[in-house]
Amino acid sequence: MTKQLTFIGHSDDIFSVSINGKPVEEIDCFDELARYKVSSGENQFYVIGEYVTPGVWMIGVAQIDQGIPIPNWNIQLTHEHDYSPALTIECPDDVKIEEC
Tens-digit pLDDT profile for residues 24-36: 999 999 999 999 9
Q: Per-residue pLDDT tens for 36-94?
A: 999 999 999 999 999 998 899 999 999 999 999 999 999 999 997 899 999 999 999 99
Q: How far from 10 is each of 13, 85, 93, 95, CA to CA, in Å?
A: 7, 10, 26, 24
pLDDT for position 99: 95
Alpha-carbon gap, residue 44 to 38, rounded angstroms: 6
pLDDT band at 18; cut points 50, 70, 90: very high
Provide the pLDDT for residue 96: 97
CA angle at 73 for the pair 12 and 100, rounded to the nearest 5°: 40
Task: Give the Cα separation of 59 and 76 in Å (integer).
Answer: 11
Q: CA 41 to CA 75: how far, in whole Å?
A: 18
- Whether 1 shows a pLDDT value over 80: the answer reads no
Pairing verdict, β 43-52 and 34-40? antiparallel
Q: Which pLDDT score, from 0 to 100, does residue 81 have?
A: 85
- The residue extents of the domains of the chain are 2-99
pTM of the predicted structure, to 2 decimals: 0.94
